[in-house]
Structure 1
Amino acid sequence: MVSARPAVAAMPAYRPGRNPADLAREIGVPRAVKLASNEVAFPPLPAVVEAIATTAGETNRYPDNGATVLTATLAERYGVAPAQVATGCGAVTVLQQLTQAYCDPGTGIAFAWRSFEMYPLLAQVAGARAQQVPLVPGAPGGAADTHDLEALAAVVDESTRLVFVCNPNNPTGTAVRRAELERFLDAVPETALVVLDEAYREFVTDEDVPDGVELMRGRPNVAVLRTFSKAWGLAGLRVGYLLAEDPAVADAVRRTHVPFSVSSLAQAAAVAALASEDEVRRRCAAVVTERARLTAALRERGLPVADSQANFVWLPLGERTAEVAAALESRAVITRPFAGEGLRVTVGTPEEDDVFLGALDAVLTSGGAAAADT
């Protein structure tokens, strides 16, 4: 019998957010609300729909393997050379390409934990050591939710090839600020590549949370990862990209690229989305406004919600997390539980968030009130 590698056989399966239509059928209600996957609630941009329609007639041909137009557009937007840009089928695929490009078995990948759940899985597949550093409370007496950059720098050794810094952090929504991030980047040896994972950058409102592209400049061992899946509304088309100060880093990522993995539709949609930036900014502003309302409403209910710089909020419910998430699902609201730690809730429309708050109230007043004891 042919067997998978032990490291692969031992991997937990990635669990996407539940399909709301499936849940609605299961519990017998007309509609379920999905606040699990950090999608934006807005429909695709009109320019994106037009670009997809125009490009659909060309899908009998392979896409541009180098994503030339998209790469040039990104290069111009960020003031870098096209050689400093690499695209991929979503940011997570670019992370996989980085791991393939830089990690041999026995090398290290350093990152905070809890953070983006794919980081340890990528290390496992590569046979690399996962150098995990626990989060620390961002406020005195609070739950662990913030990067400890000093501790992260301390674990980087001669075997460390990649360092992932998710800023804002997924799933806690917290962000590290300019001074501490600059000190960290200066402390990491040049033999390790620091990847600033900024999937939620467009939702940042704290002026002291730096744009990673600014910090990248002049630092050849720093790269910035971004995606079109969140603020730009292209989650269903899968487009991510890397900006690297050193063109050799982007070249290495392109060398591990699966040919033609960014479809023609995705490329055209991403270019159209970039041309609609004003509308995207308006949408992000609406998300930020709703984020503030949702955060205030949760705090009014006695829940210790940290300031989020992303399009989701984090409820540190500890051991009650799975129970609360299941109770919410029974009331047709899908959230993202991290068992034993907390619940991540996407900022939805005001109507969706009101449904969530109503369901949460029902949970907390029906024997689940202990969930707030954190």
Structure 2
Amino acid sequence: MTTDVKNVDFKQLAVSGVQGLHPYQPGKPIDELARELGLDEKDIVKLASNENPTGPSDKALAAVQQQFAELTRYPDGAGFDLKATLCEVLGKEGCNIRAEQITLGNGSSDILDFITRVFVNDGDNVVVSQHAFSIYGLDAKMAGGEALVAPAKDFGHDLDAMLALINDKTRIVFITNPNNPTGTWLNKQELLSFLDQVPTQVLVLLDEAYFEYVAEADYPNGIELVNQYPNLVVTRTFSKAYGLASLRVGFGISSPELADLLNRVRPPFNVNAFALAAAQATLLDNDYLANSVALNNAGMAYLTGEFTRLGLSYIPSVGNFISVKMPAGIDALAVNRGLLQAGVIVRPLANYDMAEYLRISIGSEKENQVFIRALESVLAEQTAAQVNA
């Protein structure tokens, strides 16, 4: 029987959770902006995706180079060497973790997907915070579930409001510490008090993608708490402070029982050999991590100082990014367009209920300076247009 494809509504054939879904929109790539505006890629500054401006670790580059000789071979699907190194490094930090507690992912976003696929059915829900990473809600909807959104408090997680949303259909609570895109953070006592009150059958996913950048004395190390709270899963990534965003490798730490379930839905060979080798090498490169954090601290100090000079308010951040508010009457999207015309890519936050804000990744010294000059120019143009309107 011949089917007239033109009359087939494939959207209606899709699973219900996908039909109304809008895909995640990442930061605009450099080559895309170059094509759109006819710019030279080398003149474009990208400060939109919280990437590490340091460049990769030399040890990571050497490890990747060695993998080319085995290009015809599948990677180690269990990630034995990387897991062993993680246990070693985390152990030195006081975290008693065994290999069977680790789930490796193609980026830590893989772990977010796994936990939702394992535990969220049609009609279930997850609890998230306003202004939090949008992937959490997307994953829940793909599984046929619902995201219950707790209003933020001072742009951060209101844990009491999140607790109040938990009901008998709640399967997971997502917490980002520090939060993206606001850079706000929870201290250890706040987190412990929350974990003590969450029903034991409700999982807590603690996303620590920016863990390495935080120096606050009472900032909690979530991995230290995993053995104390069986319903806790902590995720981290090599995409940020470790500078391996293009290789996509992250991991989750949980109880062995939870890790076993997550690994059941993990695709075979989901982390490639180059990513495994580079992550292991960078994990042992203490100088690289220290230099990355130092560069970030210097860049954060520069940008906050310049925002103050320009009379712009911002949300204090402990990550490798900062969200800055546009002046009254100035359209943040118009400023974003002006920055794009100047070859500077940042992240507008209208889809995070923060329409007046732009999120800026901390770049190199030169990149930060280029951004500030462009921002100052665009704001002057927008202010003049406002006066003449």
TM range (shorter): over 0.9
Where does residue 370 of structure 2 map in the other structure?
A: 355
Q: Distance in 2 between matches of 1:158 and 1:86?
A: 27
Q: Distance in 2 between matches of 1:21 and 1:107?
A: 40
Query: Is 2:353 aligned against 1:338?
Result: no
Query: Is 2:142 aligned against 1:119?
Result: no
Give the one of 207, 221, 237 matched to 1:211: 221
Where does residue 333 of structure 2 map in the other structure?
A: 322
Query: Is 2:240 aligned against 1:230?
Result: yes
Deviation by residue 1:304-345 (Cα, 9 ceiling, x = unmatched)? 212211000012349822222111111111001122252111
Query: Is 2:102 aligned against 1:82?
Result: no
Q: Distance in 2 between matches of 1:68 and 1:343?
A: 41
Matches within 5 A, 1:38-117: 38-78=50-90, 79-117=96-134
Distance 1:60 1:117, change over 3 A: same
**1:160 to partner: Cα distance:** 1.2
Where does residue 185 of structure 1 map in the other structure?
A: 195
Q: Distance in 2 between matches of 1:273 and 1:83?
A: 22
Where does residue 133 of structure 1 map in the other structure?
A: 150
Matches within 5 A, 1:19-30: 19-30=29-40
TM-score w.r.t. the length of structure 2 is 0.89
SS at match of 2:70: coil
TM-score w.r.t. the length of structure 1 is 0.93
Distance 1:184 1:341, change over 3 A: farther
Of structures 1 and 2, the larger Rg is shown by 2
SS at match of 1:190: coil
Where does residue 167 of structure 2 map in the other structure?
A: 157
Distance 1:216 1:366, change over 3 A: same
Query: Is 2:44 aligned against 1:32?
Result: yes
Structure 2 contact 295–364 (Cα < 8 Å) conserved: no
**1:28 to partner: Cα distance:** 4.0
Structure 2 contact 335–382 (Cα < 8 Å) conserved: no
SS at match of 1:366: helix
Structure 1 contact 198–226 (Cα < 8 Å) conserved: yes
Distance 1:104 1:6, change over 3 A: closer
Identity of aligned residues (%): 39
Structure 1 contact 161–193 (Cα < 8 Å) conserved: yes
SS at match of 1:236: helix
**1:214 to partner: Cα distance:** 2.2
SS at match of 2:71: coil
Matches within 5 A, 1:288-307: 288-307=297-316
Structure 2 contact 115–262 (Cα < 8 Å) conserved: yes
Distance 1:172 1:180, change over 3 A: same
**1:80 to partner: Cα distance:** 0.6
Distance 1:256 1:341, change over 3 A: farther
Structure 2 contact 131–152 (Cα < 8 Å) conserved: yes
SS at match of 2:382: coil
Give the letter aligned to residue 228 of structure 1: F
Deviation by residue 1:335-369 (Cα, 9 ceiling, x = unmatched)? 01122252111000111111111111112111248
Query: Is 2:260 aligned against 1:248?
Result: no
Q: Distance in 2 between matches of 1:153 and 1:120?
A: 17
The count of aligned residue pairs is 363
Give the letter aligned to residue 322 of structure 1: L
Where does residue 140 of structure 1 map in the other structure?
A: none
Structure 2 contact 125–145 (Cα < 8 Å) conserved: yes
Identify, as 1 or 2, the structure richer in helix. Answer: 2
**1:219 to partner: Cα distance:** 1.1
Deviation by residue 1:181-201 (Cα, 9 ceiling, x = unmatched)? 111111111011111100000
Where does residue 141 of structure 1 map in the other structure?
A: none
Structure 1 contact 178–209 (Cα < 8 Å) conserved: yes
Structure 2 portions without partners, runs of 5+: 1-7, 91-95
Q: More displaced, 310-319 or 123-132?
A: 310-319
